[in-house]
Structures are given as structure tokens and as C-alpha cells.
Amino acid sequence: MRTGRPLGLLGVMLGVMLGVMMTMTALSACSDDGRGGTATTEGAGGSGAAGSTTTSGGAGGTGGDPSCLPEPGAPCCAPPAMTWLGTIDGQTIDSCHPPPGVHVDGHVLEARVDAQGFVRFRSPQPFTSASVSVPVQASAIARLPDEGPLASTWLCAGEGTTVTRAADPFEGAEFTLASLSLLGTCPGTPVSGSFDLCWAPGGAGCPGGSNAFTGSLDGTPIDWSADVVGLGISLPDGSPTTTWEPLLRANEHALRAVSQQGTVADGYLITPLGGPDGGAVYCIGGGTSTYANDVLIATLTDLSLLGRCSEASPVDGELLATRSSP
């Protein structure tokens, strides 16, 4: 049966060279509930000055026909929600999700579904305007949405995987995930190390007057300060939860964390593909963060290694995400 819930969360994505804000409102498959929210975005676009934008959400979306059929393939998702259908390791996927916020940077296209759920595609060729509305062959790594079958499970996709980006970025992207393998769910195998992060427009407000992203992983010193080019942050109305992510140059690696009243509750780190530990997924289990006066200061701890796609366990199945017809 289809699953889904209204999130009331405005997802925030900033482009590396310019700020792009995506609004994501989840629509439940068979529910009439919906609510709005607010999001604040801070970012520095390339060599330009940092910007700040606050947007208020509307009334939210309404769900589909309450008489919708529970069988797989039934027309249950109300537009603009997307239908996810398939099987993964014997588990049926039949759910509705908002059209993902899409961010493109070179060879990488990331489609974000909820606070932590996303699919990140990597194509041998860069994503360009010529590849809009046509299927593009790619590999992918994904974290399934926080609710529904296999909630919060990490998986990888290989041969046969495609993504079709809509001409309208607010319509998200359709995709097929094939040749699947599972990494599992966090936490993974504990490793030593921690990270310190500071971001502010132009670095003002950070120690030394510059943005910083440093730490260590399993005894290896890390300094990714030069890769931080912006910050995405989501502050839902009336919620103590803050979701934030530094925007990293070339999108070769990623970090996203969820904080509750200054304590980091959940998060993940994907290491740069070109590094010695390239493409590894690390879970973040603790830490602290403060965001005030356009300055984010965070410490990330309780790190654990979930794994790499090259080492993931192959499973049967395929997952298709398609736009619902009006």
C-alpha cells in the first residue's frame, strides 16, 4: 500500500555558482492533510557575495482520492506527487513522494526527497541543457526516505540506471534504479575521528576570518575547507529541528546533518570520489551545532563507516519513480 506524509518542510538547495532554492511539499497518497513551512537559505555563489533568502510556505498540498486502490500500480498518487514502484531484495515499494528538488553540478545530479532521503546520480557525461527531458545513463547512490518500506536504507544502483530531468525544475526528475546493491542503515562500523565546521558569508565570524571544514577519519587528517562554497539550511515552522549542509565544490562529496536544539541527531558524510577513501559513506551520530547571525559552527562526532558501493551486497529488484498523471 502506498505510504507518505505531509512534511511541511521547504527543502533548500544552493547551486555552487549561484543560489537555487527548491521548494518541496510532500503529498500523502490517501490523506487530506497538508501544511506549510519556512526555510532560510544562506550561501555564497562562486566569487559573488553571500545571500540570504527567507520564504514562507503556503497552505500545503492535499492528498489523493481516499478511495484509491492499494494494489501496486494503482493510480493513487495525486499530482504533483510521484509514484515509486518496484521491489528491493523482495520488499515491495509502492509509495508516493513529492517531486524531488533537483540540483545539477557537472557529472552529478542530486534529487532530494525529504530531510535526508535523496538519490545522487553520476553520469560519464556532464548533465547539460541538451540532456533535459531525455533519459541519461548513470550510476547512483541513494538513501531511501525516512518513512515507508526500507526506510532510511542506503543502496547503490548500476547498469540499467537512468534519470530523466524535467524541463521545469519544480517537477523534479523521473528515474529507474537497476542493478541494485545494499549498504544498509546507519550506524555502521565505528571509526575514530571527528569534524569541525564553520561557515559564514565571506568567512566573517569564523576563526581566522575564513570558512573551515577540518577533522580526521580513522587517523587520517582531513582539510576540506577550500571545498566549502555555501550553506543550505532548513528551519521548519515551529520545529526545534534544523537540517543543514555545507555546499561543496564540484559536488564530489557531501555532508548533511539534522540538529535538534543544538545537538546533532543524525547525518551522513560521503567522501570525495578522487580520494583514497573515495565514495565511502560515513554515518554521523552526534555532535553540536549553532546557527546565529548567519554563522554556522558545528562539531561532528560518533562517526561510523557504512561502506562503499564497490563493496555493497547485490540484491534483486528495480525501482521506478514516475510523475503522476493529472
Task: Tell me the mean pLDDT per 10 residues along the chain, length 326.
Answer: 37 32 33 32 36 30 38 63 92 87 89 86 92 95 90 96 90 94 97 96 91 94 91 81 85 85 93 84 96 94 96 96 78
Q: What is the pLDDT of residue 248?
A: 85
User: Which distant-in-sequence residues (6+ apart) come within 8 Å of 298 by Cβ?
Assistant: 195, 196, 197, 198, 244, 257, 259, 264, 287, 288, 289, 290
Q: What is the pLDDT of residue 314?
A: 97
Q: What is the pLDDT of residue 122?
A: 94
Assess if residue 101 is contained within a domain. no
Q: What is the pLDDT of residue 323?
A: 84
Assess if residue 267 is contained within a domain. yes
Residues paired with residue 314 on neighbouring β-strands, in sequence order: 181
Assess if residue 318 is contained within a domain. no
Assess if residue 195 is contained within a domain. yes
Domain range for 267: 189-309
**Amino acid occupying residue 158:** G
Assess if residue 10 is contained within a domain. no
Assess if residue 196 is contained within a domain. yes
Cell numbers at residue 82, please?
Answer: 510521484
- In terms of C-beta density within 10 A (0-12 exposed, 13-18 middle, 19 or more buried), how is residue 173 classed? buried
What distance in Å separates the CA atoms of residue 266 and residue 282, rounded to the nearest whole number? 11
Q: What is the pLDDT of residue 297?
A: 96
Assess if residue 245 is contained within a domain. yes
What distance in Å separates the CA atoms of residue 12 and residue 39, rounded to the nearest whole number? 7
Q: What is the pLDDT of residue 100?
A: 84
Q: What is the pLDDT of residue 64?
A: 35
What pTM did the predictor assign? Answer: 0.76
Cβ proximity of 306 and 282 under 8 Å: yes
Assess if residue 285 is contained within a domain. yes
- Listed residue (14, 10, 9) closest to 246, CA to CA: 14
Q: What is the pLDDT of residue 223?
A: 94
Q: What is the pLDDT of residue 251?
A: 62
Q: What is the number of structural domains in the chain?
A: 1
